Structure 1
Amino acid sequence: MTRNFSLLFSLIFSAIVGLTGCNAQMTRNKTERFSITENKPGKRIDISVDGKPFTSYIYPDELMKPVLYPLRTSQGTLVTRGWPMDPRPGERVDHPHHVGLWFNYGDVNGLDFWNNSTDIPAAKKNAFGTIKHASVRKMTGGDNSAELEVTMDWQKPDGTKLLTEETKFIFSEAGGTRTIERITTLKALGEDVSFKDNKEGLLGIRLARELEHPSKKAEIFTDASGKATNVAQLNNEGITGKYRSSEGKEGDDVWGTRGDWVNLNSKIGTEPISMVILDHPSNIGYPTYWHARGYGLFAANPLGQKEMSAGKDVLNFKLPAGKSVTFRYKILIHSGNNLSDEQVEREANRFAAQK
């Protein structure tokens, strides 16, 4: 009897241990929705959701600042311009410094960080600043989001560090809407840092051709092979972008006005797309001025108030040595019916409530 009981106990114990081990293995094998992978030789970090590309944080030598590139909808549609990194037919070939989603400024202690690119002649490089990726502080995936925390250095032409940047990205997706939250802290190092009023700033996205405003102006575009070609009259078929701000401004009238948010409604092929930038009440210069151009530059600029207001407002923000300032923005990339004012306002209120 005792031997039978011992045998039964041993069998039950073995079954429990086996089941526990199986559950642990299943837990280890469970795939999280969001994954984030670093490729140091390729100077990039790739973010994906449900096995599909979301975006990448890239810092190749040919860019003068790290950027998120490219941006995609939940359907995989590219919403940022490919040129000059990956030219696609029918794209404009202006402003080679407009790549993906970036953060920099046009006058930092007299240095232009915004316009710097490989197109700048060596003889003029001493007027431009460069932002260099320094390190990855944190990188996590999960079921609800992925997070990336990085450090960058804002450098003078001789490589001296002017500012240290610490940025946290939060990537998420729900109901056809992908979101990118960017929390950026700049710290002045050995000297005071002046951000003189300048229209070139601060958070920018360069949009795909289909998301631009229709235009009749002659321009230079890429042909089917990616070569730059003069186009006397634009083909506006499928070009349906239109900005709308929280203050009811529309189209090109959004430029140089203030607002809590701007929503760009358009479509690519048959896919309705809304792209939104939300400002945060904690930001310097809130509500931001909008540097939103019909040719595809979508930017929020809280620091260039004199330039954006034709002299009505003046900021000339200064950051004393050793002090820090933080900027928070949220980008929505929505696939589906275009977002209404009411829908965007709800998202803006939720974002504003975050501390």
Structure 2
Amino acid sequence: MKKYLIIACCYFSLNANAQNKNVSLVRNDQERKVDVLIDGKPFTSFIYPENMEKPILYPILAADGAIVTRGFPLNKREGERVDHPHHVGLWLNYESVNGLDFWNNSFAIPAEKKVKYGWIRNVKVDKVENGKASGKLSYTANWENQAKDILLKEQTTFVFSGTDNARIIDRITTLTAQKDTVKFKDIKDGMLGIRVTKELEFPSNKVEEFTDSQGNTTKVSASGNGANGTYLTSAR
């Protein structure tokens, strides 16, 4: 019997009583992307280039046009840290799926080690839909190993909306196991990730070290140089 994992999330939801703006999606199959516009202003793009290990939303802009996401590695900016090259835009995957690391896979992994990593490939945009209050984008993809054996089928729908002062992304994802039982090990990294611009990073005055599931260690420099992010719970 096939098993299903369904994921839903909401991002950038502010002032729900404000008037929603028109949303338009511009599909470009040749460049393998879909641009999302709120009231004619850029919000984000869904991109799925063949040389990338997963599909992502990149970049993401706030209602005032400020860029929320880090530029590296697709568009380097002065003063940014260049650690964790798999941190690109907004994405969804997992560090251990039947032992394969989907989370840490990137161009930085040597070819001889790629067999330990998974890809989200064969991305197909099924539908784009404009709207007066929201727009939708649906796609399918395969979670595969390096031999292109399919572990999971992914079906995702994004719902984009926005007001004068807010931007909202709703994501509904269904992952369906294929031939084999699929196990998600209890591990450090997954599911939804976003790498923010340096100004939103939490300040740190020391070098940090992080080790992934394959034993690779990454050193991350101190996050000065404009980093002043503050993140609070509702309880402060």
Task: Quote the offset at 1:41 in angstroms.
Answer: 1.5
Other-structure match for 1:178: 167
State the Cα distance separating 1:34 from its structure 2 match: 1.4
Name 1:69's counterpart in structure 2.
58
Counterpart in the other structure of 2:27: 38
Count residues with an aligned counterpart: 206
Q: Hey, what's the Cα distance between the residues in 2 that align with 1:72 and 1:167?
A: 21
Q: Normalising to structure 1: TM-score of the pair?
A: 0.55
Compare relative contact order (CA 8 Å, sep 6+) and give the higher one, 1 or 2.
2
Letter in 2 for 1:129: G
Q: Tell me, in whole angstroms, the C-alpha distance in 2 between the residues paired with 1:232 and 1:163.
A: 36
Identical positions, percent: 50
Deviations 1:229-268 (A, max 9, x none): xx987644x432112234x4x7xxxxxxxxxxxxxxxxxx
Deviations 1:123-176 (A, max 9, x none): 111100000143222210111011001001100110111100000000000241
CA contact (8 A) 2:55 2:91 kept: yes
1:239 corresponds to 2:204 = no
Aligned to 2:132: 143
Of Structure 1 and Structure 2, the greater helix share is in: 1
Cα-to-partner distance string for 1:176-195 (whole Å, 9 max, x where unaligned): 11000000000001111000
Gap regions ≥5 residues in structure 1: 1-31, 220-230, 251-355
Residue pairs, 1:214-253, within 5 angstroms: 214-218=203-207, 235-236=224-225, 238-246=226-234, 248=235
Q: Is the 8 A contact 2:201 2:223 kept in 1?
A: no
Query: AA paired with 2:195?
Result: R
* Amino acid in the other structure paired with 2:31: G
* Contact map agreement 2:48 2:123 (CA 8 A) in 1: no
Match of 1:129 among 118, 129, 138: 118
Whether 1:82 aligns to 2:71 is yes
Secondary structure of the 1:89 match is: coil
Residue 125 of structure 1 aligns to a residue whose secondary structure is helix
Amino acid at match of 1:65: K
The structure-2 alpha-carbon separation of the partners of 1:133 and 1:48, relative to structure 1 and needing over 3 Å to count, comes to farther
The answer (yes or no) to whether the contact 2:55–2:123 under 8 Å persists in 1 is no
Indicate how the Cα distance of structure 1 residues 83 and 144 shifts in structure 2: closer, same or farther if over 3 A, else same: same
Contact 1:147-1:168 within 8 A present in 2 as well: yes
Which has the higher Rg, Structure 1 or Structure 2?
A: 1
Cα contact 1:59–1:133 (8 A) shared by 2: no
- Answer yes or no: is 1:211 the counterpart of 2:211: no
Stretches of 4+ moved more than 3 A in 1? 231-236
| Deviations, residues 183-214 of structure 1 (Å, cap 9, x unaligned) | 00000011110001111111000010000111
After superposition, the C-alpha distances for 1:309-354 in whole angstroms (9 at most, x for unaligned) are xxxxxxxxxxxxxxxxxxxxxxxxxxxxxxxxxxxxxxxxxxxxxx
Residues 62-98 of structure 1, C-alpha deviations (whole Å, 9 max, x = no match): 3200000011001111000000000111111000000
Q: Is the 8 A contact 1:66 1:133 kept in 2?
A: no
CA RMSD of aligned residues (A): 2.0
- Counterpart residue number, 1:298: none
Q: Secondary structure at the match of 1:187?
A: strand
Letter in 2 for 1:33: N
